[in-house]
Structure 1
Amino acid sequence: MKKNIYFNHDGGVDDLISLFLLLQMDNVNLTGVSVIPADCYLEPAMFASRKIIDRFGKGGLDVAESNSRGKNPFPKDWRMHAFYVDALPLLNESGEVITPVADKPAHLHIIETLRATEGKTTLLFTGPLTDLARALDIDPTIEEKVERLVWMGGTFREEGNVHEPEHDGTAEWNVFWDPEAAARVWESGIEIDLVALESTNQVPLTLDVRERWAKERKHIGVDFLGQCYAMVPPLVHFSTNSTYYLWDVLTTAFVGNSDLVKVQTVNSIVITEGASQGRTVETADGRPVRVVYDVDRDAFFDYITELAKKAI
């Protein structure tokens, strides 16, 4: 039985690899894709997404552009990666882009796709939740068409990954970009599965993973993984703020194979204002979310590598 998945992403390296992996999952019916310009610039992320679908998909999809704007923009340097993926020779070999741009912006595309899809759909979001929050504001009844939301966002540690003036450093970027949007989704009745920053501690990008992909690059999909992740810094000696963990790819793998992780329920709220805006806080009277707290590292890397080998 295939699961209906709608994917909204923000164009980073691991977002684009996530799209590639979704296209290889036999148990997934990818119903829609949209791109929000948070941790990316919209044009190259749209082109890269459409080219990945052309090269590795089976057609039948369009890609919607988000016109959402965040409260706190991502750093410019982080947003550049989509340009590099879009320029990969593998994605430009055909010289044309066939997958169309949707005729509706992302938040309306979400509503339309949920309504047009038989049964319920799992929403996979690897960027901020702004498009979903806007969709819920326009048509709250779409909740009944949503199986669950699987989101890479938030942290329940004291320290997040936001290091900006006038902020206390407790937030994670996908929440911080638009805290009100996350709070709006928290107010909904949608079941939420969360891959938080700490969920990915066991899956940093390390040199041994890169070497494994290099040895198996005869498979075009594994070569694509290696080429994409060559753009980001691995964990070598110790973790820094630039160390790359497989945040979005773990979130995507969780959709394809829930046996890779363990989850626990946490009651939480989202802080929307002040020096802690964007912080997700555990509190007894908060709304329940299921948080990934443990990952089978070896099984995870085996899973995504085997998916990549299926690509032709």
Structure 2
Amino acid sequence: MSATNSTPVILLHDAAIDEYIATILLTTMPEVTLSAIIVVNGDCITTPAMNAAWRIQQYIRRTDIPLGLSSARGYNPFPWAYRGDCIKINDLDMLQGLPACATPYQDGDALLADTLRSAKSPVTVLCTGPLTPLAELLSTGEGVALQSRIGRLVWMGGAIAVGGNLDPATLPPGVANSYAEWNVFWDPFAADWIFRNTSFPITLFPLDITNKAAIASSFMGRLLVQAKQYPVSNLAYQSYEIVASESFYDMWDVTATVWLARPEFYQPLETMTLAVVTEDAGMQGALIPDQRGRQIDCAKDFQDIDAFYSYVLAQLAR
């Protein structure tokens, strides 16, 4: 597929390690054109997150892609224990010596609006973090016009028929529930607003499918072999090595990203009518079936998980 008929993509992420790998993958896909990257201060710490993002773009020689920082804030902050991973990736030896991200950072909210405004064809918004920046933009006076520029929202978020991923050990007593996934829980009100006030299709990648995309030892072994030959594989291996020993850490964002280029690796999407729980402390952030809710196209499982891993490895062999 040529660049002239590829799909423009805006990436909204909150700077976890898997999201940096998703960024790299997007730049290798002829099926998409990565038009802008917007970071939200969610599962990260702003300065190392922005520095890591910009240094990675330099490392893969894609400084042509605009990078901005959103001013969005959430209701339920990520635990500090999670947010420090961006420091570790920013400190990787291969990224040292590359210039830090210039300050003041580019306004990510303005970048999101400008990229949608100037789009010549429908844009896919790939969100691998909270939906807050998108909800805040689309609820402005220009929101209806900008919404019409979005062809589809692809979101890694939620849990439907599996448990959530809020760890009681990282939250005050009574805050964690067993239903919510972090990208919804960070700002359930933004997710609810998007569900209730937009009309573009939404494709959801919940924990139901991402739980099956572990950073498997077999995958890491093959990536290590590639790392000895390919600089991008080396960056990916060193990055994943930071979290590979954490049993709960999966390829959440890469799962959603690969679908843009290879939907045949996934079972057919299941359309469900879902709503977001916003107020109930015992279920805040949960996605629940509700006939008054929004129709969502949900990815529930892989058709060929081996092909998924092999594709990721092939794209990183650069």
State the TM-score, normalizing by the size of structure 1: 0.92
Work out whether 1:53 is the aligned partner of 2:53.
no
Shift of 1:99: 7.9
Question: Deviations along 1:166-204, whole A, 9 cap, x unmatched?
Answer: 243211110000000000110111210000011113211
Out of 220, 229, 241, the residue aligned to residue 230 of structure 1 is 241
Work out whether 1:21 is the aligned partner of 2:30.
no
Work out whether 1:176 is the aligned partner of 2:185.
yes
What is the aligned partner in structure 2 of residue 239 from structure 1? none
Q: Give unmatched runs, 5+ long, in structure 1.
A: 236-241
Work out whether 1:259 is the aligned partner of 2:259.
no
Shift of 1:132: 0.3
Work out whether 1:304 is the aligned partner of 2:312.
yes
Shift of 1:291: 0.8
Out of 253, 257, 262, the residue aligned to residue 248 of structure 1 is 253
Aligned partner letter, 2:205: V
Shift of 1:51: 1.2
1:77-156 → structure 2 map (5 Å cutoff): 77-93=81-97, 95-97=98-100, 103-104=106-107, 106-138=108-140, 139-141=142-144, 142-156=146-160
- Decide whether the 8 Å contact of 2:51 with 2:101 is kept in 1: no
Mapped partners of 2:225, 2:207: distance in 1: 30
What is the aligned partner in structure 2 of residue 289 from structure 1? 296
Query: Structure 1 298/99 Cα, relative in aligned 2: closer, same or farther at 3 Å?
Result: farther
- Decide whether the 8 Å contact of 1:23 with 1:53 is kept in 2: no
Moved over 4 A (4+): 97-102
Aligned partner letter, 1:267: T
Q: Secondary structure at the match of 2:114?
A: helix
Larger mean CA deviation between 289-298 and 58-67 belongs to 58-67
Work out whether 1:272 is the aligned partner of 2:263.
no
Q: Give unmatched runs, 5+ long, in structure 2.
A: none
Query: Structure 1 48/135 Cα, relative in aligned 2: closer, same or farther at 3 Å?
Result: same
Query: Structure 1 208/277 Cα, relative in aligned 2: closer, same or farther at 3 Å?
Result: same
Query: Structure 1 211/103 Cα, relative in aligned 2: closer, same or farther at 3 Å?
Result: closer
Aligned length: 302
What is the aligned partner in structure 2 of residue 194 from structure 1? 204
- Decide whether the 8 Å contact of 1:61 with 1:99 is kept in 2: no
Shift of 1:89: 2.0
Mapped partners of 1:13, 1:135: distance in 2: 26
Question: Deviations along 1:56-75, whole A, 9 cap, x unmatched?
Answer: 14332221111111100111
Mapped partners of 1:100, 1:22: distance in 2: 25
- Decide whether the 8 Å contact of 2:277 with 2:286 is kept in 1: yes
Shift of 1:137: 0.9
Aligned partner letter, 1:73: P
Larger mean CA deviation between 156-165 and 128-137 belongs to 156-165
Query: Structure 1 87/260 Cα, relative in aligned 2: closer, same or farther at 3 Å?
Result: same
Q: Secondary structure at the match of 1:108?
A: helix
- Decide whether the 8 Å contact of 1:5 with 1:123 is kept in 2: yes
State the TM-score, normalizing by the size of structure 2: 0.90
Percent of counterpart pairs with the same letter? 30
- Decide whether the 8 Å contact of 1:71 with 1:178 is kept in 2: yes
